[in-house]
Amino acid sequence: MANQAPQQVSLQDEAIANLGTGPIPAGPYYRADYFELEREAVFRRTWLQIAHLSELPEPGSFIVRRVDIARASILITRGRDGQLRAFHNVCTHRGTELVSEEAGRRSLFSCPYHMWTFSDDGELRSAPDFERFYVDKSSCSLPRVAVEVCAGLIFINLDPDTDQSLRDFLGPIAPQLEKLPVARATRFSEYTYEIKANWKLTYDNFQENYHLRFIHPRSGAAAVGSDNPFGYPVKFGFHGPHRTQTIWSNPEAAPKPFQGFAFGKALEAALMDGCEMALAKDYFAIFPNFFMLGSPMTPFSHCVIPIAPDRSRGVIRMYWIGEDRNASQRFAREYQMATARDVHAEDREVIEAGQRGLSSGALSHIHMQEQEVLCRHLFHSVDTMVNAYQAQKLAGGERV
């Protein structure tokens, strides 16, 4: 099998012309100064996937999300009018974080320091001895953050001057996401992890199958077959800063009995939920740090959150429509999540080994082949924003 030629995707000349084929600088994967530029140029200036509508099921619901890369804590509320609103989770008196809980249900939020109290629409309702201040209540509202929803997925934008809607940002990917089960999901399973690796290096591992046969010879067996012995994707797509690929699945895979049972129950549930079946899996990479598998049987999402130049946090979710109908469906859902964790566990050590190697400074450049084109595209998308930010600052006379 090792001597057989895999079915590879031939990249369009336009994609190669835009992305190039040369080495990629290694510094942006470990340098602290580049990480600071990413903080300002990318994560404080673009739409970030942060939550799901199922977490705010009714008026009065709220959640708090920490965005480490922006040094921000975000409060998202669903008001009595049913509208979502997002704010910086800071009291406008002296900056104390307003809400410490991760989630709950209430319509008023009181600062623990001096009891300034805000409504779920961000307005200051009361403050002790406010008549002794030199300001109007109307100018003390919580700082707003842009928030919009696509396919049940909640995005925020920390740029106060943004005039780009989420739908414009997603472009042709938006209607594709809205066809996925995540758009109708009512619950999810989640696990988080921390890894000693740069966010791009971590993300890159999950957008190329070049490593599949070396790191996942056991767990990845179902993703290879005689027609595609290396499990390479059958299609790539580039949509502005976003990327897509169609992941090949083996139609002749022979799972073990308990695996077959779990997959069968997952398929049965997906059909009952009205999902369209497809053998191949659609992969949607939403710039900068979120991706989702569109398969109805494995509605999987992964968000890689930057923490430091050489450290990241991942949030992995599987979304479900409705409660478990029976014990068999519960088993199928738990099995799929356990499988995802097992596969991911095989990746972590080699990702961290890659970070140690890059952080040593031994390499000035790294190399990417055709099957790593999505990794190359992510690097170029980030670097383009970083360069534009630097040029903007220089044009304004500011040092960067």
Tokens of 25: 């600088």
CATH number for the region 51-158 comes to 2.102.10.10
Contact 19, 373 (CB under 8 A): yes
Average pLDDT, the chain: 87
Whether residue 229 is predicted with pLDDT greater than 80 in this model: the reply is: no
Query: Alpha carbon of 318 to those of 79, 201, 297, 303, 314: distances in Å?
Result: 27, 23, 10, 12, 13
Q: Which residue has the higher pLDDT, 135 or 258?
A: 135
**Confidence category of residue 227, pLDDT binned at 50, 70, 90:** confident
Strand, helix or coil for residue 322: coil
**Confidence category of residue 340, pLDDT binned at 50, 70, 90:** confident
How far is residue 387's CA from residue 397's CA, in Å, rounded to a whole number? 15
How far is residue 49's CA from residue 170's CA, in Å, rounded to a whole number? 11
The predicted model gives 158-170 an average pLDDT of 96
Whether residue 250 is predicted with pLDDT greater than 80 in this model: the reply is: no
Lowest mean pLDDT among 118-132, 310-324, 346-360, 376-390: 310-324
The predicted model gives 117-121 an average pLDDT of 97
Q: What is the pLDDT of residue 5?
A: 39
How far is residue 25's CA from residue 41's CA, in Å, rounded to a whole number? 18
Q: What is the pLDDT of residue 160?
A: 93
Lowest mean pLDDT among 273-287, 337-351, 380-394: 273-287
* Cα 335 → chain centroid: 22
The predicted model gives 349-361 an average pLDDT of 97
Q: What is the pTM of this model?
A: 0.89
CATH number for the region 1-46+169-400 comes to 3.90.380.10
Strand, helix or coil for residue 364: coil
Whether residue 326 is predicted with pLDDT greater than 80 in this model: the reply is: no
Lowest mean pLDDT among 59-68, 165-174, 238-247: 238-247
| Annotated domain spans of the chain | 1-46+169-400, 51-158
How far is residue 373's CA from residue 266's CA, in Å, rounded to a whole number? 32
Closest CA to 177 of 317, 302, 286, 337: 286
Q: What is the pLDDT of residue 324?
A: 75
3-state secondary structure 90-153: ECCCCCCECCCCCEEECCEEECCCCCCEEECCCCEEECCCHHHCCCCHHHCCCCEEEEEEECCE
Q: What is the pLDDT of residue 269?
A: 59
Tokens of 101: 């809980």
Q: Which residue has the higher pLDDT, 382 or 219?
A: 382
Q: Which residue has the higher pLDDT, 254 or 379?
A: 379
Q: What is the pLDDT of residue 322?
A: 81
Range with top average pLDDT, 48-57, 186-195, 251-260, 387-396: 48-57
98-116 pLDDT, tens digit each: 999 999 999 999 999 999 9
Whether residue 296 is predicted with pLDDT greater than 70 in this model: the reply is: no
Contact 228, 250 (CB under 8 A): yes
